[in-house]
Structure 1
Amino acid sequence: MLKTLLLIVVAAIVLLLAYAATRPDTFRVERTAQIQAPPDRLFPLINDLRAFNTWNPYEKKDPDIKGSYGATTVGPGATYARESDKVGVGEMRIESVQPDTTVAMRLAFVKPFAAVNQVTFSLTPADSGTRVAWVMEGRLNFVAKLMHIFFNMDRMVGQDFEDGLTNLKTLAEKRQPPTGA
């Protein structure tokens, strides 16, 4: 009886590991929002890491977060490192920008898991405002593939992106100049 149970457990583990091996090597999380502000008003709120952190949902998750900015906080080369028990340890770096259109960042995590992901913000004029897309993409090693079986990355991170875009929308739309002035 014990031998049969042990064989069933081993077989289940082998099947789980085999299934994880078949999972994709990459992931992508994307959320969008329509914001009633022009791209030139939104771009500085993303391209400047100090401004970015005024609406960044991860900064709001931990009031005790320890953050430090690099020598540059705006545009390519701008960096921000953070240390937090709630949102982890890592650094973001703006890699490239296309004014009023795109900000591309490198997001490196040290804890709770080591990972390097690419984040892109795209601003597209739409209707009377801007469509903002927040995308994170990265590679998955075998351990990460195994974890993705049990944790839905799109749901977990996607909710944070939705919260962040709501924060950005509130901030950007509040800054609207009065009409007819």
Structure 2
Amino acid sequence: MPESTETNIEAPPTERKSSSVLSKAVLALVLIVAGLATVIAMQPSEFRVERSTTMAASASTIFAEVNDFHHWEAWSPWLELDPNAKNWFEGPPSGKGAAFHWDGNDDVGAGSMTIIESSPNDLVRIQLDFTRPFEDSSTTELSIVPAGDESKVTWSMYGKNNFISKAFCLVMDMDKMIGDKYEEGLASLKSIVESKAQPKDSAEANKESE
């Protein structure tokens, strides 16, 4: 019987080279993704953004504006980004339990704000929940501290950074992005409360001069 012979068929050099290049490309991609994931994971696990300003108005005048979501349309820097957004209220008109929901364009997304603590003339603490463009939760506060004839108002946001939030922080300056809006909102609020306080101040001044 004729002896059987085995024939080794090797891939052409071009195919071997292409396979090697592809393997190296995949390995490089895996290393890049792993490295990026490591960098993202090393970002701060918590965040805080805070801005303050002084207003020539009483704490009670300011508290009335921030404790009622119905008043926010006049000074909130986000509501003006989408005039056609769908907005609705739930719960009591103001104070603890009052809630405001919105569903708008890509600039404002969708979510809700719920007052979880309301200390008259002192503090309004709010639970902020986003459902779009991604799910996230944080806490915001508006605190009021009397300072003579004026009041110092501080608007802050704080919470924990999830993986998406950490990745977002790599490409965006969150403190500046949110902080700039807080400054706009505080400036608008200042204008409103000072205009409301002015007539009262003038009346008191006239009364004292009599």
Q: Does 1:93 align with 2:105?
A: no
For residues 9-33 of structure 1, the C-alpha deviation after alignment (integer angstroms, 9 at most, x for no partner) is: 4433322211111111111111111
For residues 110-134 of structure 1, the C-alpha deviation after alignment (integer angstroms, 9 at most, x for no partner) is: 0011111111111011243111000
User: What residue in structure 1 maps to residue 53 of structure 2?
Assistant: 33
Could you tell me the TM-score, scaled by structure 2's length? 0.80
Q: Distance in 2 between matches of 1:51 and 1:147?
A: 31
Q: 2:63 aligns with which of 28, 34, 43?
A: 43
User: What residue in structure 2 maps to residue 15 of structure 1?
Assistant: 35
The number of residue pairs the alignment matches comes to: 181
> Equivalences for 1:1-181 in 2 at 5 Å?
7-85=27-105, 86-176=107-197, 177-179=200-202, 180-181=205-206
Over aligned residues, Cα RMSD in angstroms?
A: 1.7
**Paired residues of 1:73 and 1:80 also in contact (CA < 8 A):** no
Structure 1 letter corresponding to 2:175: D
For residues 121-173 of structure 1, the C-alpha deviation after alignment (integer angstroms, 9 at most, x for no partner) is: 11011243111000111211112211211111111111111110011011111
The structure with more radius of gyration: 2
Structure 1 letter corresponding to 2:55: I
For residues 69-97 of structure 1, the C-alpha deviation after alignment (integer angstroms, 9 at most, x for no partner) is: 11412000101111101301111111111
Which stretch of the first structure deviates more once superposed, 18-27 or 95-104? 18-27
Q: Distance in 1 between matches of 2:49 and 2:70?
A: 24
Compare relative contact order (CA 8 Å, sep 6+) and give the higher one, 1 or 2.
1
Could you tell me the TM-score, scaled by structure 1's length? 0.92
Structure 1: tracts of 5 or more residues without a match: none
Q: Distance in 1 between matches of 2:28 and 2:91?
A: 57
Q: CA deviation at 1:36?
A: 1.0
Q: Distance in 1 between matches of 2:31 and 2:148?
A: 56
